[in-house]
Structure 1
Amino acid sequence: MTTREIHLELLLGKPVLDSAGKVIGRIEEVRAEQQGKEWIVKEYLIGYAAVLERLSAWTIGLKILHLLGAQKIYGGYTVPWDKLDLTDPDKPRLHCSIDTLKSLNEQPQDTE
């Protein structure tokens, strides 16, 4: 397996294209885990809802948006590392159907 380094800060904000060339959102966050001395990317968070995740404000942000009248926040996906083609880092493209991606709306709900 060949490995390649890409500067993550250059990926943030890049629009992600589906197989038809339509923008599904922008890369807003990257989740990685440390394995020895290396950090391995596990998934990318794409779209509007990912901005709240990036700011570590998911729970508080949702409560504020609901107080302001928002019923549901749309527009976020979790993309596994192997489902995003970064051959051209300026034009990331999905390797899968958008229907197979986990929605960021599927966050655990608070129970009060």
Structure 2
Amino acid sequence: MTTREIHLELLLGKPVLDSTGKAVGRIEEVRTEQQGEEWIVKEYLIGYVAVLERLSAWTIGLGILHLLGAHKIHGGHTVPWDKLDLTDPDKPRLRCSLDALKSLDKQPQDTE
């Protein structure tokens, strides 16, 4: 297996395209796991809800949205590392349908 390094800071904010070339969201966060001395990418978070996670603002952000009348927050997905094609890091593409991804939908009561 060939390994390759990509600077994560250059991926943040990049629009992710589906198989038809439609933008489905931007890479807002990357979840990793340490294995020995290396850090391995487990998944990427894309969409509006992922911004709150990146800023560690779940409790405050969702609380404010709840006060403004939001009952369910939509707008993000979890992309497993192997479902994102980074052959061209400037144009990341999904290797699956958007429907196949886990949604990052959050309920305001999830913050309690």
TM superposition score normalised by structure 1: 0.93
Of 39-48 and 51-60, the range deviating more from structure 2: 51-60
Residue 52 (str. 1) matches residue 52 (str. 2): yes
Residue 25 of structure 2: aligned partner: 25
Residue 72 of structure 2: aligned partner: 72
Residue 7 (str. 1) matches residue 25 (str. 2): no
Of 70-79 and 25-34, the range deviating more from structure 2: 70-79
The Cα offsets for residues 50-82 of structure 1, whole Å up to 9 and x where unpaired, read as: 000101111321111111222322110000000
C-alpha distance in 2, partners of 1:108/1:43?
23
Q: What amino acid sits opposite 1:15 in the alignment?
A: P
**Residue aligned with 1:110, SS:** helix
Cα pair distance change 1:34/1:71, threshold 3 Å: same
Q: How many residues align?
A: 112
The Cα offsets for residues 71-104 of structure 1, whole Å up to 9 and x where unpaired, read as: 3221100000000000000000000010010000
**What stretches of structure 1 move > 2 A for 4+ residues in a row?**
69-72, 106-112
TM superposition score normalised by structure 2: 0.93
C-alpha distance in 1, partners of 2:73/2:111?
18
What residue ranges of structure 1 are gaps of 5+ in the alignment? none
Percent same amino acid at aligned positions? 87
What residue ranges of structure 2 are gaps of 5+ in the alignment? none
Q: What amino acid sits opposite 1:31 in the alignment?
A: R
Aligned ranges for residues 96-111 of structure 1 at < 5 Å?
96-105=96-105, 109-110=109-110
Q: What amino acid sits opposite 1:13 in the alignment?
A: G
